[in-house]
A and B are shown apart, each in its own frame.
Chain A
Amino acid sequence: SAVISQKPSRDICQRGTSLTIQCQVDSQVTMMFWYRQQPGQSLTLIATANQGSEATYESGFVIDKFPISRPNLTFSTLTVSNMSPEDSSIYLCSVDLAGENTDTQYFGPGTRLTVL
């Protein structure tokens, strides 16, 4: 497995502002993922972030709203831009670790965001 940390662990923000969430992993990984978990809901994939290339966004998510950086093999950031109360969610990063047979994702602890 891997040790994955996220900063901040939680935040309360005003509408119209932006928040950047950091994800740090203790080993080099090719694929990192960002998810959103709205209150009481399951996880939804926002985008896949591979080092050295632009992030690939899922349907319903756009780069202007959720810009992602992936400067190296151990770090990524997700920015939630121009926030509204509907952005209140837990944001999670995960990393892919290739195993003997296939890939497995390991998740960070999440960032709990509340937008007022």
Chain B
Amino acid sequence: DAKTTQPPSMDCAEGRAANLPCNHSTISGNEYVYWYRQIHSQGPQYIIHGLKNNETNEMASLIITEDRKSSTLILPHATLRDTAVYYCIVRVAGLIGDSSYKLIFGSGTRLLVRP
């Protein structure tokens, strides 16, 4: 069962920031939030992940609320190549011992970047 809720679609203008929201109100204290994106007909691409603190890398920023029940992925300057489905994912413990885990994919947000 998905542990995240995302809007099905969004759009933004090229060059502007894209802010993609995600609700994960049932997240547990040791479960990470991951973001991936999938461009048509390709495998998902890792973007960023975090636990409590805000994170930034060369692709995006991840803002996690203090209660950890929601987060926002920020693409600071969206380009046409950022058009994709963006998945907000919760990483949960797996079935095989302490080190295993699994990613529970939600339904994703289809982001369209307009020229």
Residues of A within 8 A of B (CB): 1, 4, 31, 33, 42-45, 48, 50, 53, 56, 58, 92, 94, 102-110, 112
Q: Is the CB of B49 within 8 A of A31?
A: no
Q: Is B16 an interface residue (CB 8 A)?
A: no
Q: Is the CB of A109 within 8 A of B42?
A: yes
List of A residues within 8 angstroms of B105 by Cβ: 42-44
A-B contact count (CB 8 A): 57
- Among B17-25, B67-75, B96-104, the stretch that binds chain A is B96-104
How many B residues, CB 8 Å from partner? 26
Q: Is the CB of A102 within 8 A of B32?
A: yes
CB within 8 Å for A42 and B46 given contacts A48-B95, A48-B96, A103-B101: no
Q: Is the CB of B43 within 8 A of A56?
A: no
Q: What are 20 A-B pairs with beta-carbon distances under 8 A?
A: A4-B43, A31-B100, A33-B102, A42-B107, A43-B44, A43-B105, A44-B105, A45-B102, A48-B100, A48-B102, A53-B96, A56-B96, A58-B102, A102-B32, A103-B101, A104-B46, A105-B46, A107-B36, A108-B43, A110-B41
Q: Is the CB of B42 within 8 A of A48?
A: no
Q: How distant is the Cα of A94 from the Cα of B91 in the complex, in angstroms? A: 14
Q: Is the CB of A107 within 8 A of B45?
A: yes
Q: How distant is the Cα of A86 from the Cα of B47 in the complex, in angstroms? A: 31
**Known interface pairs A42-B108, A107-B43; 4 further A-B residue pairs with C-beta atoms within 8 A, sorted by A's residue number:** A45-B102, A48-B96, A92-B44, A94-B44
List of A residues within 8 angstroms of B102 by Cβ: 33, 45, 48, 58
Quote the shortest CB–CB distance from A107 to chain B (angstroms). 4
List of B residues within 8 angstroms of A58 by Cβ: 102
Quote the shortest CB–CB distance from B33 to chain A (angstroms). 11
